[in-house]
Every structure is written in structure tokens, then in C-alpha cells.
Structure 1
Amino acid sequence: MRIIVTGGAGRLGRSVAAELVTAGHDVVSVDRSDPGLPGVEGVVADLLDHVATHERFAALQPDAVVHLAAIAVPFSAPEHVILSVNQSLAFTVLTAGIAAGAGKVLAASSPTVIGYGAPHGWAPEALPLTETHPVAPWNAYALSKVAIESTVAMLARAHGDAVVTGAFRPCFVVSPEEWEGAPTQQGHTIVDRLADPALAAVSLYNYVDARDAGRFVAAWIEHAAAPHSGGVYFVGADDALALEPLSRLLPAMVPSTAGFAETLVDRSAAFSSAKATADLGWRPRHDWRSALSRAEWARLDGLLAADGRPRHHAPTDAQTPSPTHTPTTTPT
């Protein structure tokens, strides 16, 4: 299948494009730069140009489009710019893909649509969070993602069974090099987030390995059908990016979760990806304990020891690699 991936040169896009190539697809990255990935055709283009994008996609003749291109960090640009750019990109890309003959179009949304982190109060209806939880955006980034989900649903209604549309909410994306100590999108490292619970509290300790997100996209391309059209999926690891159980940590760091977090014992995450498993047979293969490099484990232990906190040693060779779960249905 010939698949256009917008934003293919980005942190998430590189892993998505690579996983699609591994799955046997013909992948074209359309972005402001060429990702330089083996097996991926790089096309440099301005996706905000509506007419040019439609013309470019018509020439590329995709079977499917995966839309990742966006201003990816809240508050990294003026609010009106984030809203305008992200909405315009999604509408242009998805409609261009359908006009060019793509039978499947998938767009990246965000867990932030749920509204956690709002400065004037937010409380969950239940934990773990699922796709049925009401959305409550409180900034332009989250609002733009709600608009993208609405666009996906609108296109499903407009095109019926002729086109399958979808959106996915990848949790805090961790690219492979970040397990080795490279800075995350926020500038600090994964070890920093583990050692200082306040850094990850704003995301409710969610995360997903970028390769697992890429495997989700491959699973959606393969298995999504008309009954799933317009659907939205959380895509996250099965555990929390935290040293303590969220049943204790969340009420202490996010008081509004008190009374809801008791079920999040042991390593349980605050977000559920059960729908992606049920519909598509996808499950994450990576967890932070087995993915974090030994050098970063040593740095984490050093930070914990300096604070007088219990140390957490790296898994033994017999334990690694040890994904939280392995696929139980169709391999993706």
C-alpha cells in the first residue's frame, strides 16, 4: 500500500514511517525536510498551501494518508497560531488525501483533549481514562486536536463506507534515543521525569514508545474497517512513567484525582488502550523499565541516592528485553 505520512521527519513521524516500511508499505514522507530514512521517499512541501497540497497528493496517488504534521507542543507559539495552523493542516491534508483517492486517512490527536492540567480545576469522571471520557480542552493546542477529531468524524459522515477515517491520541511520545538520555520534547530527560514526579504529573504519567505508536498506525492501516470509521483511540504504554503506584502518586501530585486513583495499583497507567486492542489487535511492546539504557538507570539511581530515596535497579539480563505485554491477536 502506498502511504503518505505528513510530518515524517518529526520525532513521532520517523518511527511511524519506519514501522510502515517494516510492515511492507511504500511510504512517502511529506514534511518541511526529508527524514533520510531507508525505504522512505522524502518530499519537501508546505502543507499549509491548500491548492499545492491537493495537487501534490493527486500526483502521489496514495492509498492511505497518516497525518502527523502539526505544531506539536502546547504554548510553543501564540495560541491563535497553534489553533489556525493545526486546524488548517488537518483539513487540507485529509481532504487532499481523500480527493487523491486514499481509502484510509488517519490523523494524530492528543490525550490533552481530556483537559487535565487545567489551571482552574479538572477532575476525571473515572480512572483509567478511556475514549468515552468527555473532552474539555483548555488551551489552543488541545482545542486544535478536538477540531481534528471533529474533522475526522465529519469526513466519515460525508464519505460513508467509501473512506475509513480515524484519529489516535498518542501519549507522551518517547523516541528511541530518549531512552539513551537524549532530551525529550520538553527539554529534560526521561530520568529527570522519573526522579522528579512533578515533571510528569502534568501528563498524568502517560507515555508511549514511538515505535509502538508506529505499530499502532500499521495495525490501523491493516485492520480498520467501515465500522471503525470516525473512531478515536488512546495509544499508550500499559504502565505509568513513574516509580510509585499512581494510586499513591496521583492524589499527592494531582489532588483532583483523589477518590478516582485507587484502582491504579502497582504499575497501572492512568490511560487505557483497551479499545485499540479490541478493535485492532494492537498492544504496546515496550515499557520504560526494559527500554531505559543501563547508563540512564545508573544516573537515576544516583539522583535517587542523592535525595535519600530508595534506589531502583535496572532489570537483569534475564529480564530484558521484557515488554509489558506481547500481542495476543494479529501481530502488528
Structure 2
Amino acid sequence: MRVLVTGSAGRLGRSVAVGLAASGHRVIGVDRVSAGLAGVDERTVDLIDALATRALFDEVRPDAVVHLAGIAVPFSAPERRILMTNTALVHTVLAAAVDVGVGRVLAASSPTVLGYSAPTWRAGRLPLDETTPPEPANAYALSKLVIEETVQMFARTSPGAFGFFRPCYVISPEEWAGAPTQQGHTLEQRLADPALAAVSLFNYLDARDAAAFVDAWLAAPAELVDGEGFFVGAADALAVHHVADLWRDFAPALGEAADALGHGRPVFAIDKAERLLGWRPERTWRTELDPAALERVLAASDLTGSDPAASDPAHSDRLETRAR
């Protein structure tokens, strides 16, 4: 399949573009800069420019579009700029896709649409899933909700399949090795101090698992994914201890329903993606974190020498699957 990936030079886009190319797709990566991606035909285009975007689509004629471009971090720019940039980008890209007859379009949203950054937000029930009502609390989250509504509009009015996904806190391969995350902390620091990960309710996602999700979405029957949205995250929480043991001190908005999240289970449910697409994440912080950093984190938590699978059933299941 000929797949155009917008935002291909970004932290999520790099892994998605390379992962799709490795899976056998012909990938055209589009961003304002090139990233030197293996197996990817990179183009430098400012997608805010509708004429330049349409010219690119006329030339490439992709079978599918994965739209990841946009301002990717809340409060990293003035609120109005975030809102205007992200919403203009999605409409420009999706309109160009429709004009040239692209059959499939998948756009990235965010878990932040639920509004958990607001001081007054409280979880109605857990885990949070696709039926949890959105309550955006800043321009970034609002822009992502507009992206979802734009996707839904095109799903209602255009042929083909249009969908969106909400990737959790994305971790790129180099960040497991010690590079700073998007908030400037290392993963070792985020695991050692639960307060750092609590602001995102301990959610995370390896960028390579995101690429596998996109590949599964592209392969699914159109009628199964058209107009649908998916949470996409790791099968555990970005925390050494269970969320049930942490929420009272670090995430009180979760409430007592979090007591049921034992055995390392995440706050955000990913069941829909597994049920409809057969996708399941393969990586956790226990398997991907730099070994020396992992040892320090476990030592600080009095877990040195323990079997990671004992506190992570998802990891145990994965080992069993690989053994078979």
C-alpha cells in the first residue's frame, strides 16, 4: 500500500513511517524537515499551505494517509496558535485526501481530550475508554477533539474509511536509552518519581507499538474502522507500583475505582483495538528501559531481583506467547 505519513520527522512520525516501510508499505513521509528515515521517501512541504498540499497529493496519489502532523505538546506554543495550527492542518490534509480519492485516512488525536488536566475533573468510572465523555481543558486538547470531529465529518460525507486514534504518552526508542522525553525528564526519572507520570495518569506507548497499530488499522476491513476511534497504549502503567497504590497521593481525581486497577493495569483501556483489530502492544517499560536504569529504578523501589512478570501479567503473557 502507498501510505503518506504527515509529521514524519516527529517523535511518533519517525517510528510510524519506518515501521510501515519495514512492513512492506511504500511510505511517503511529509514534514517541514527531513529526518533521514530508512526506506521512506521524504518530502518537505508545509501542510498549512493548501495549494502545496494539494499539489503533493496530486503527485503522490496515496492509497492511505496517516495524519500525525501538528503541534504535539500542550502549552508548547500560545493557545490560539496550537488551536489554529492543528485544526487547519487536519482539514487541509483530509480535504486534499478526499479530492484525490484516497481510500483510507487515519488521524492522531490524544487522550487529553478527556480533560483530566483540569482541577475539577473526576473519573466517572475506570478504566477510561472510548465511551468516556470528552471534556477538553486546554487548546491542545480542544484541537484534538476538533480533529476527531473532522474525521467523523468526512466519514459521514465521503467514501472510504476515516478514523482516529488516541496514542498515549509516546516514548521513542532513543528515550528508553536515556534521551529526555517531551517534558524534559528521562524515563528513569518519571518512574522514580510517580508525580511526574501522574499528570498523564501514568499512560504511555512505545512508538513502535503505535506503528504496529497503524499497520493493523490499514489492514482491517473498511466497514470495521470507518468513523471509529481507538485508545492506543501500553498494557500496563508507567509506574513501578500499581496505580491502586498510587492514586491517593498522586492522582486523587481517579477515585476509589482505581483500587480495581491491580497487577499493573493501565488507567486507559485498549480492549477495543485488540477486539476489532487484533492489535496488542508488545513492549513495556520493564522490557525496554535501559538495563542499568531499570536496575536503579527497581532498587529504589525495593524490587531488585524480583521477576518483572510477577508484577506485570501483560509481560508474562507476552513471554508465554513468544515461548510458543
TM-score, normalised to structure 2, is 0.93
CA distance, structure 1, for counterparts of residue 276 and residue 35 of structure 2: 31
Deviation sequence 1:155-185 (CA, Å, 0-9, x none): 00001xx210000000000111111111101
Counterpart among 198, 201, 213 of residue 201 in structure 1: 198
Paired residue for 2:219? 222
The correspondence for 2:171, drawn from 153, 170, 174, is 174
CA distance in 1, matches of 2:319, 2:128: 22
Where 1:276 maps in the other structure, the secondary structure is helix
In structure 2, C-alpha distance between the alignment counterparts of 1:254 and 1:294, rounded to whole Å: 28
Change (3 A) 1:261 1:2: same
Q: In 2, distance between residues paired with 1:17 and 1:313?
A: 37
Deviations 1:53-72 (A, max 9, x none): 01111111000000001100
Distance 1:224-1:152 versus aligned 2 partners, 3 A rule: farther
Runs of 5+ consecutive residues of structure 2 not aligned to the other structure: 309-313
Deviation at 1:38, TM superposition (A): 1.5
Match of residue 247 from structure 1: 244
Shift of 1:228: 2.3
Partner of 1:279: 276
Q: What is the CA–CA distance in structure 2 between the aligned matches of 1:49 and 1:328, rounded to whole Å?
A: 50
Counterpart position of 1:210: 207
Structure 1 residue runs of 4 or more that deviate by more than 3 Å after TM superposition: 311-316, 322-329
Confirm or deny: 8 A CA contact 1:287 1:324 kept in the other structure.
no
- Contact residue 70 and residue 86 of structure 1 kept, 8 A: yes
1:258 is displaced (CA, Å) by 1.8
Amino acid at match of 2:171: V
Q: CA RMSD in A?
A: 1.9
Q: Tell me the matched-pair count.
A: 316
Percentage of identical aligned residues? 52
Residues 225-234 or 203-212, more deviating: 225-234
Could you say what secondary structure the match of 1:260 adopts?
Answer: helix
**Post-superposition shift, 1:325?**
4.8
- Kindly report which structure 2 residues correspond to 1:22-61, keeping only aligned pairs within 5 A, or say none: 22-61=22-61
> 2:144 aligned with 1:145, yes or no?
yes
Q: Give 1:128's aligned residue.
A: 127
Q: 2:311 aligns to what?
A: none
SS of residue matched to 2:163: strand
- In the other structure, the counterpart of 1:310 is 302
**Among 249, 256, 259, which residue is 1:259 paired with?**
256
Is the contact made by 1:289 and 1:314 (CA closer than 8 Å) also made in structure 2?
A: no
Q: For residues 245 and 32 of structure 1, what CA distance do their matches in structure 2 show?
A: 41
Check if 1:72 corresponds to 2:72. Answer: yes
